[in-house]
Copies of this chain bind each other. A is one copy, B any other.
Amino acid sequence: MAAKSSYHHGDLAGELMQHAVRHIAAEGTESLSLRALARAAGVSQSAPYRHFPSKRCLLAALATEGFGRLERQIGTALAGHDDLEARFLAMGTAYVQFAVANPTHYHLMFGAVLGDFSDYDMLVEAATRCFARVTALQEEIVATHRLEADPDQLAGVIWAGVHGTASLLLNMTRPAVAGAREPVPPMLAVQALGEDVDGSLRLMYRSLIGG
């Protein structure tokens, strides 16, 4: 794990990932460069290519790591609750919190940055495991409340609500339109979402189970 010789690094892939995570959190994905990463690791400009055959591959690894982290956060959030509504709120809150705490990472995972995931098996696997956490709970809701609608459709609608909340919060607050001279009417809706995430999610839940 640690540096072994002056020539061989020991764990270059790991250090590159660390620097990359830090960089996209601080500076964004656009400005991420393999060369800068190499410099940060004190290594030649083409050394990273031994571990990540292309920049896209590095981004895929970052996204994979993100899905793993999100899945764990959802897992621990769910662990504390028995009640179904509480579990849904915990899941949704964890989802939204992850997005707000790691905007660029979330963007990398759910935005169209990487295009087709299927080039990277590890990524597909991590994403699937993560999504399964989300939809399993939704199916549980559908089953428990014996809702009439198509279970898949209902799960989709719930997911859309949670994901849409995260996405709007991320892209439509600060930065984005928030810089307009005075608070602009449409943004009040997004602001309300952000100021009471819990309440908004509860509203979705209670509506859909037929309050």
Contacts and interface: CB of A to CB of B under 8 A. Distances in A.
Interface of A: 28, 103-104, 107, 110-112, 115-119, 124, 127-128, 131-132, 134-135, 138, 149-150, 152-157, 159-165, 167-168, 170-172, 174-180, 184-193, 196, 199-200, 203-204, 207-208, 210-211
5 contacts: A110-B167, A124-B180, A124-B184, A155-B188, A163-B167
Given A118-B180, A185-B135, A193-B157, A170 B128 contact: no
A211 B149 CA distance: 13
Nearest to A133: B186
A164 B155 CA distance: 13
Query: How many copies altogether?
Result: 2
Among A112, A161, A170, the most chain B Cβ lie within 10 Å of the Cβ of A112
Nearest to A209: B207
A182 to B, nearest CB: 11
A179 B124 contact: yes
Contacts of A199: 153
Nearest to A132: B186
Contact of A156 (B132, B177, B189, B211): B189
Contact of A164 (B116, B135, B165): B165
Given A128-B186, A157-B200, A118 B167 contact: no
A160 B157 contact: no
Contacts of A161: 157, 160-161, 164, 204
A165 B160 contact: yes
A118 B157 contact: no
